[in-house]
Amino acid sequence: MPKALIVGSGIGGLTAALCFDLIGWDVQLLERSDDIREVGAGIQISPNAMKVFKRLGLDQALANAGFAPDAIELRMGISGMDLIRAPLGTIAMRRWGAPYLHIHRADLISILKTALNDRAPNALQLGHRVVGYNTSSDTVFAELADGAHFPGDLLVGADGIHSTIREQMVGPDSPRFTGNVAWRAVVPVERLGDDAPRGVAGAWMGKGKHAVTYLLKDGRVANFVGVVERDDWTQESWTEEGSKTEALKDFSDWHPTITRLIKEADRLYRWALFDRAPLPGWIDGHAVLLGDAAHPMLPFMAQGSAMAIEDAWALAAFMASEPSRAEALWAYQALRYPRTSAMQKGSRANAKTFHKRTRAGQLSTYGPMWLAGRLFPALGLKRQDPIYGYDITEKTPNMPVREDAKPSSAKSAAPPELPSQDR
């Protein structure tokens, strides 16, 4: 039985482990931490990613744990004026073949971890810090910090934006600071009163800044992300806390929905946003990159995790169907590279759209949006068709499924009830 060594137990790594288990591979998921934890934050699972989870038998578990927004809305940050409202719900199912969900990252990780432990009980190896790899003509070895070596037929670098595997493969990272810093928080809706966000995927636009709001946990928790142009802080950390005073200063004159979210947050985290150009390649012998390790992108299209989920399915599908592993890896890269590069470019462009500083720039950009939203309400959905309508399970060879594959108990397991700032 061939073995996949997967480095990193984030969303991409866990999904890849489930996909490789599905095709009958032995899987070892090597995670440096002694426990899998997620600092409190929400995530948007768009229909293109949900199609993978449906094939993995996890769509119902995610639907039970998540929140299905009624629409996608664009609003002005200060006045709250509506620009575009594109309906979702059953329309998303009909148009794109899968639902659009919001879910707490901790709930998503828990569902994936439960499924993996159920289907491959010994796959997840905690406390295993991978510091590099060696690849030969027929084997690849994961090198651990304690000197141990794990042999396998394929090594998948799913170790995120600061990937050790990527650094060995293509050299040191050279990110470019975008001049943007992002705030994030989750807040129980009961604290927000009439200022609670609507049950939509909401984007709020303003001069040199924008915000995103949506609901989690069956509508009981609100998620906030606020991005502001500033150059006085450049720490790219997912767990760095910032002060409420600073966050309120950044959004001081904004709509009460935004300022109330900041005031009621127990903790506000902030991270500097860095942009990275597409890599020259993702393959080195029997080692390959996936997700943020391969194509880190800015969060302005909410497609980072979705691309990792698509990657996971595509990589397993090609490894199961191509005549050689080398051909499988090149087929994977050839399919995924154009799409992920386009998402990187689109995310970069969206930052400029959201942050128009001048009155003329706002009128020329948001005016047509407002008019189109009233004359052609479906236009907002049409713009998303190439993203949400994409089905990686149809773009790849038919996945041979192991005969003993069984549904996961995660399909019926209730998601963990977590404090608002825990992962």
Q: Residues 72, 83: contact at Cβ < 8 Å?
A: no
Catalytic residue among 100, 133, 214, 390: 214
| CA proximity to 108, closest of 305, 284, 264 | 305
Q: Residues 70, 89: contact at Cβ < 8 Å?
A: yes
As a whole number of angstroms, the distance between CA 337 and CA 333 comes to 5
Is-catalytic flag, 214? yes
Angle between helices 11-22 and 304-321 (to 10 degrees): 20
As a whole number of angstroms, the distance between CA 334 and CA 196 comes to 44
| CA proximity to 87, closest of 223, 189, 199 | 199
For residue 313 the two structure tokens come to 């399915």
Angle between helices 359-375 and 379-388 (to 10 degrees): 90
**Helices of type H across 84-192:** 90-96, 105-119, 164-170
Tell how many helices (H) and how many strands (E) occur in the chain. 13, 19
DSSP3 helix / strand / coil % (the chain, rounded to 5) = 40, 25, 35
Residues paired with 273 in a beta bridge: 180
Residue with tokens 């000197």: 147
Helix, coil or strand: residue 12: helix
Q: Residues 182, 57: contact at Cβ < 8 Å?
A: no
For residue 413 the two structure tokens come to 């397991």
Q: Residues 310, 158: contact at Cβ < 8 Å?
A: no
Maximal C-alpha separation, the chain: 64
As a whole number of angstroms, the distance between CA 170 and CA 407 comes to 39
As a whole number of angstroms, the distance between CA 81 and CA 362 comes to 13
Active-site residue set: 214
